[in-house]
Structure formats: structure tokens, C-alpha cells
Structure 1
Amino acid sequence: MTDTPTSALPPIAHEELSALSRRAGLVIERLRERVFAPGGRKRLEVTFNVRTAAEMVGRTEKSIREAEADGRLPQPEKDPATGRRLGYSLSDINRMRAVFGTAPHRGPDDPPLVLAVQNFKGGVGKSTVTCHLAQYFALKGYRVCVIDCDSQASTTAVFGFNPDIDVNEEEDTLYPFFRHGGPATLRYALRATCWPGIALIPANLGLYDAEYEFAARMAREPVFLLDRLREGVATIADAFDVVLLDPPPALGMLSLSVLRAANALLIPTPPSNIDFASTAHFLRMLDSTLSELARHGGARDYSFVKILATKMDDQKSAHQAIKRMMDAVFPQDMLAAVLKDSAEIDNAATNLATVYELTGAAARTETHRRCRAYLDAMGREVELLARKTWPSHHKSLRKEGLL
């Protein structure tokens, strides 16, 4: 009788996998202790001098100082040793905008921008784009909500929450909202973040399990599930100018509900053969998926659908060739801005942060300035698209020569 061949490697049992999970969790906790404020909560350390504050607020430095002198604004904090101003926080900037009436909010009759950063392939920069766009809009004074729909919860972690500890899948994520008899509004899940003007609906691994439950229910109640997120966004829309949706990188029920909830799409695509092919497949799937969704819940139109080239490396001739092809194939659909491949983004992500959160010497390098310029260009372009969807902004846009 022939013996059954055996592997030269010992088997990995479930206990070993559990130990790996525990060790990974310990690393995350130590990282949080190192990069977050005392008590485990993330803090925004970014401040602005009076010149930058005046530019952000849309008033002169003199106007700010006069408002401080006559009591409309509080006196700025000063260094006791030198008497110099310590800088303004983003909360201070927003207070100035309120006093001077320069907050850029949408009008009461304007629809909020509900933008899905969507691609069915992982690793294309969805969460990077979502987090930086959210913070760009917050710096400009808009009211922003970020809804993390991805069980990997990268966006949740960047905004300062440990998905495994700070987020309860039964209470804090989208999961309970998709149940019959669940909350009537998404307000239960909104979390304040360290960024003034940004609220977050977090995610964790529980959303992965939810996909299986929702898939089993799809045949029985497709309209309820597909339109549930859209209805939820409508219950909180009055509090925000911009709602950003970060869906999972797969064609599941949550991704489909994101497509139904959004009124605009941004498709991040690295200029590589594999990623471009995946995006081409995504667009074909998007076409057929939207047609199928329309049969169940009615057609869904978008204010705009744009493709954003991400992780672009100008030193790679293949990237340049594919980017030229993308511009030729999608001449009206590409954002002019390009998100370059940058070590600055990677280094910030290592500390569960973004480029907009870097301070001190790290924010004064030429590499940082270049990366910030790419991100600002992306933000300005999406901001202009958003403002074009708001009738109350059209007069200002015409005056600025942008409409």
C-alpha cells in the first residue's frame, strides 16, 4: 500500500492564524499610541498664519485684526515669550468665515454633492482620493460627510478610529441601517472627527459579513436594499455640502447601493495596462449594472462622471503612453489633474495620516509642496464640478469666468 505523500511543511492550524491576528492588532495599537494624541484620539495639529488665514477666509489681514480688536473675533493666542501669534486652527478659520459671511456652503435649494469614488479593483487609490478630497473641501470651508462602505476600513483608520476597537458593527456602521426595523436615519452613525467640518460614518470587518446576508436577501427585496443607502443619505443631506462614499473594491450589494446613492462618480485609475484593463471592464460592468438597476428602481442620472489618473510616474514611459491613450479615448471624461505617485502620500499613510495633516519640517520640503500641488489641483477641479451643480453658485462662477 502506497503511503499518501505529505508536505515537508507543517500545517498551519486555526490557532496559528488567530495568533497572527492578535499580533497584528497589537501592532496597530502601538502605532495608534505613537501617532495619536494622549488617550488614543487623533488630533489635528495644522495651523495657519494670518496671511494664509486671510487667503482662506477671503478677507484682508487688516480686516481680521480689526475684527479681533472690536470683539467680533476672539484675540489670537500668542507665545508668552515672544508675543507672536501662535497661528490659527481650522476651527478659527471657520469662525472667521462665519463672521465675514464667506463660508462657501451650497444654497438651501442646491442638492448636496454625493460623490462615489468608485472602481471595482483594489489598489487604485480610492481611499487616498476620498480622504484627501474630504480634507480639501474642509479646508475650503465646506461641510463634509465621509461614508466608509468598505470593510477594510482604511478611511476609518485614517480619520482616527480603530475599526476593531472604536467601531461596533451592530451600532456604528451602515450594517443596522440595512435591516428591517433599523434606524430611520443615518444620524445614529455620524462621528465627529479631528477635522472641523468633517463627519464620518465608519466601517469595520462586520460589513464583510453583511455582504453575505444582503446577497441572500437581494432576490426577495432588491429595491429596498438598493435604494436604502440613497434614502439614508437623504436623511442627513441637510447638514452637508459634500457627501463622499468610499465603497468596497468589488461588485457586491454595498457597491450597487453606492451607485444608486451617488449623484456623481469619480473613477481612480492608475495608468498601467492591468489597471486600465480593469477600468475598461469596470465601465462595461457599470453600463450593464446600471441598466439592470434601472429595471428594479428606475434610471439614475449623474451630474458628472470623471476618470482620475492616479499613481502616475512620469519617469515610466509606459505610464506616459497609457496616460496619452486615456486622454485620447476619454477626452471629455478625464480630470485634467493627475495624482502622481508620491512617497509623501505613502509616508503619511504609514502614520495613518494624509499629506494635508503633515506639519513642521515635513511640510516645508519641496517634495511636500509638489505633492500638495497635485492634491490641490485635484480638489479644485472637483470643487468646480460641485459648484456647477449648485445653481446658487452660478452667478459667482460667471463673475469668476468659470461658467
Structure 2
Amino acid sequence: MQPEIENVDDDAINYADFDTLLYPPQFAADCFGLTTRRLKDIEEENGIEIRRVPRGTVTSRAYTLSDIFNIAAVRRAKGHTKGLPRQIVISTFVQKGGTGKTTCSVNLAIHLQLHGHRVLIIDNDAQGDSSSLLGYDPDLEPNELAEMGIPADRYVSGNFGNLLAEQLRTRAFQPMSFDELVKKPFGENGPHLIPADANLEDLPIALDAENNSDFWYASWLERGRKNEIPGLDLSTYDTIIFDNPPHSSRLTKNSIIASDFILCPVRMDKFSFRALMRLSDYLARFSRDYRRSLGVLAIPTMFIRNRKRILSNLMILNDLFPGRVSEEKLYYSEDYGKAMDTGVPLVVWKGASAKTVESMRNVFGEVMNHIRKVASDK
């Protein structure tokens, strides 16, 4: 039987209180690829208390997302999962909207965290779609949050520019510490987020006035790894994901220069292929201008089986990026839109069909293998 879908108030701006969502043992076990018996053993071996809720005449274990991420942290601490030999930075980017970049960024971050990575998402788009998908609507003021009954900690008070503010000549951004800005939608052991708001649009202007304007993100990451920024130790993260807008900008260039590879979700339609052709040209110019060849992993999205045009486009995609297209695909499903309407990322949405979740986990398993290979190559 399909689990009941959460009731969602249309006036809540797709807000979901992650602390109140409860999941059955089978869902929690599936997040790790375990049996429910093994999951219970892990809880008992490590003294993890899981609430019980009435179910008919008996009670059953019910997990919050924080519970599930806490179990993931215990599994890592016990050596059941591993981090990476070195930190990997990824940019999601393709010069076309509607291909699934934000969906991939957020759900990949959750999948990686469940499988032993420590993940930081940086929302690099002034529209703040990644922030919104994780429950932080950048357009809402504190009084509006209060009116809607949304907790005050969901307020977005800044963006990545505030972390660079002390080094920028402009005073457009108020300096903020990492701890002041970072969001933890699922608790300490879930993926962390640097949110975005409309003020991020001012950052390209600020960077244009600086020397080495395309290298500020890379410099910040390097200093953060070396603990050269007070109150910040980025070395604790295995994977950092930049979610970019669907166009090239100073911010996009910064994230790509700082990255180990680009993740390119792409639909199998002619308009997305035009975007891929532009991306191919963009990477050629990037290689020439910065004397660095950048890796790419393309993910076919919204894929429909046995469509001749789609299969033909997939062949073209493989010709454009030989050996750099995922074998697995994200198949078309209404679940994506429905999950977004509930305000819950699809990979942890109870209403998703088994096939939709399975295809997503398969794709992200392949991405995770690619990440580990890149981390081991250098």
C-alpha cells in the first residue's frame, strides 16, 4: 500500500516541518539499503532511541528525518560507510532552465549524506531554489514567517556574499560568520546549506571590481580547508555542491573554477541539446582561458523509455560527451512535481513511487562512484 501523503497547506509556500514528518521502519531501512532487522540491531547496539506510535492494537517505530541522519552518522562512525580520500567540489550547471539542476543538487546531497558523506550545499542562484526546496524561502520576512506559523529559524538573513564581505572593497554585504549563515534543515547530521536571496545579485558587481575576480570562490574554499578563516573549518565536509543558475555569470565561473567536475542534468529535447552544444563550447573556452580541463558528468533527466527521438538524442549526448554520461537515467514521473508541492525533497518523500525513488538512487549511486573515483585520482 502506498504511504499516506502529508497534508499541505497551499498558503504555506511549500513549507514542510521536517521535524514532524514520521517514517515507517521500512522507509528508514531502504534509505540505507538495509533490512528492518539490521536497522533495529544498529539502534540497539548503539543505544539509539526511536519513538513508537500507535498502529492498530500495537505500537511501531516511527522515524524523523533527524533520526535517519543520526543513524547515518553512527554508521559512518562505526566504519560501515566511508568519507572520501579528499574533498570534492561539484557545480551543477547547464545553460538551460527546467532540466532538474536544483532537484539533482538537493536530492544528491541528501543521498550522499545518508551514505556517509558530510555535505555542504551552496545556493549560488539569487532565485534561491535550493534554499526553498530545503524549507528556506528567501522572499519571506520574519513577520511573514510568524503569520504563516513557520519557525523563525527558516528566515534567510544572507547569502554567500556575506561570507566574502570582509575581503571585498564594496560594503554591499554585511560580514557574517559561517555559523551565523549556515542552515541545517535536518539537524547537525544532515546536509548543511549556505542559502541564497535576491541580494546575491549584487555579488557579481562586487567581484568585477576585484583582482582575480573569477577565483574568489576557489580562494575561499582553500582558506576554509586550511582553517585560515576564523570559525570555519571546511575540511570537515567530504563534498561541497554549488547549485548554479541556468546561465553563465561571474558567480557561475567562480563555482566552476573551484570545482572538480560539473554535474549536468539534461532533458532529452532539442532545446536542452542546444544548451549542451553551448556548454561544449563553453568548456572549450574554459580550457583555453584557464588552462584547465574540467570533468563533466551528464545525467539524462525526465527520460521516457522507447521514444525514438529521445533515444536518438541520447546517442548524440554520448557522442558529445563520450564516457561522461551516466548509464542510469532519471525517468519522467509526476512524483517530482508532487514532491515539490509538499515541500519535501523527493528522495525522502513518502509519497514517491518505488520506481521513481529507485531510479534516483541508482543515478546517485553512479554519481557517488564517480565522486569516489575523482577523489582517488588525485
TM-score band, normalised by shorter chain: 0.7 to 0.9
Matched, 1:253 2:230: no
AA aligned opposite 2:361? D
AA aligned opposite 1:200? L
1:61 to partner: Cα distance: 2.2
Higher deviation after alignment, 253-262 or 98-107 = 98-107
Q: Which residue does the alignment assign to 2:148? A: none
Residue by residue over 1:265-292, the C-alpha shift from the partner in whole angstroms, topping out at 9 and shown as x without a partner, is 2112211122112111112112212432
1:157 to partner: Cα distance: 0.3
Q: Which residue does the alignment assign to 1:197? A: 190
Cα distance 1:118–1:338, how it changes in 2: closer, same or farther (>3 A)?
A: same
Q: Which residue does the alignment assign to 1:56? A: 32
Name the CA distance, whole Å, in 2 between partners of 1:124 and 1:316.
18
Structure 1 residues without counterparts, runs of 5 or longer: 1-28, 393-403
Residue by residue over 1:284-331, the C-alpha shift from the partner in whole angstroms, topping out at 9 and shown as x without a partner, is 11221243234xxxx4x65x4211112223364322211122234433
Residue by residue over 1:316-373, the C-alpha shift from the partner in whole angstroms, topping out at 9 and shown as x without a partner, is 43222111222344331111111122211012123333222322xx34xxxx122112
Report the secondary structure of 1:114's partner residue. Answer: strand
Contact 2:72 2:115 in 1 (8 A): no
> What TM-score do the two structures reach when normalised by structure 1?
0.73
Which of 220, 227, 230 does residue 218 from structure 2 map onto? 227
Name the CA distance, whole Å, in 2 between partners of 1:371 and 1:145.
25
Matched, 1:372 2:366: no
Name the CA distance, whole Å, in 1 between partners of 2:241 and 2:20.
20
Matched, 1:386 2:363: no
Cα distance 1:45–1:139, how it changes in 2: closer, same or farther (>3 A)?
A: farther
Name the CA distance, whole Å, in 2 between partners of 1:98 and 1:371.
26
Which of 293, 310, 322 does residue 319 from structure 1 map onto? 310
Name the CA distance, whole Å, in 2 between partners of 1:248 and 1:74.
41
Higher deviation after alignment, 141-150 or 193-202 = 193-202
> What TM-score do the two structures reach when normalised by structure 2?
0.78
Name the CA distance, whole Å, in 1 between partners of 2:368 and 2:289.
31
Q: Which residue does the alignment assign to 2:81? A: 104
Name the CA distance, whole Å, in 1 between partners of 2:31 and 2:98.
35
Matched, 1:337 2:312: no
Contact 2:214 2:253 in 1 (8 A): no
Q: Which residue does the alignment assign to 1:398? A: none
Matched, 1:213 2:198: no
Report the secondary structure of 1:132's partner residue. Answer: helix
Q: Which residue does the alignment assign to 2:147? A: none
Matched, 1:282 2:275: no
Cα distance 1:233–1:150, how it changes in 2: closer, same or farther (>3 A)?
A: farther
Structure-to-structure mapping, 1:43-82, within 5 angstroms: 43=19, 45-49=21-25, 53=29, 56=32, 61=37, 64-65=40-41, 68=44, 72-74=47-49, 76-79=51-54, 82=57
Q: Which residue does the alignment assign to 2:109? A: 134
Structure 2 residues without counterparts, runs of 5 or longer: 1-7, 142-153, 169-174, 226-231
Matched, 1:33 2:12: yes
Report the secondary structure of 1:340's partner residue. Answer: coil
Report the secondary structure of 1:85's partner residue. Answer: strand
Name the CA distance, whole Å, in 2 between partners of 1:207 and 1:289.
24
Name the CA distance, whole Å, in 2 between partners of 1:54 and 1:223.
42
Q: Which residue does the alignment assign to 2:144? A: none
Structure with greater contact order relative to length (CA < 8 Å, sep ≥ 6) = 2
Task: Give % identity.
Answer: 19
Name the CA distance, whole Å, in 1 between partners of 2:361 and 2:55.
35
Report the secondary structure of 1:79's partner residue. Answer: strand
Cα distance 1:204–1:52, how it changes in 2: closer, same or farther (>3 A)?
A: closer
Report the secondary structure of 2:127's partner residue. Answer: coil
Name the CA distance, whole Å, in 2 between partners of 1:236 and 1:30.
39
Cα distance 1:75–1:390, how it changes in 2: closer, same or farther (>3 A)?
A: same
Report the secondary structure of 1:337's partner residue. Answer: coil
Name the CA distance, whole Å, in 2 between partners of 1:232 and 1:249.
28
Q: Which residue does the alignment assign to 1:5? A: none
Report the secondary structure of 1:238's partner residue. Answer: helix
AA aligned opposite 1:111? R
AA aligned opposite 1:206? N
Matched, 1:153 2:146: no
Instruction: Please say which structure displays the higher CA radius of gyration.
Output: 1
Cα distance 1:168–1:160, how it changes in 2: closer, same or farther (>3 A)?
A: closer
Name the CA distance, whole Å, in 1 between partners of 2:109 and 2:27.
24
1:67 to partner: Cα distance: 5.9
Name the CA distance, whole Å, in 2 between partners of 1:63 and 1:311.
33
1:156 to partner: Cα distance: 0.5
Q: Which residue does the alignment assign to 2:161? A: 175
1:255 to partner: Cα distance: 0.3
Cα distance 1:328–1:89, how it changes in 2: closer, same or farther (>3 A)?
A: same
Name the CA distance, whole Å, in 1 between partners of 2:213 and 2:50.
56
Contact 1:54 1:61 in 2 (8 A): no
1:142 to partner: Cα distance: 2.6
Cα distance 1:71–1:191, how it changes in 2: closer, same or farther (>3 A)?
A: closer
Contact 1:269 1:309 in 2 (8 A): yes
Report the secondary structure of 1:275's partner residue. Answer: helix
1:59 to partner: Cα distance: 8.1
Contact 2:109 2:241 in 1 (8 A): yes
1:199 to partner: Cα distance: 0.7
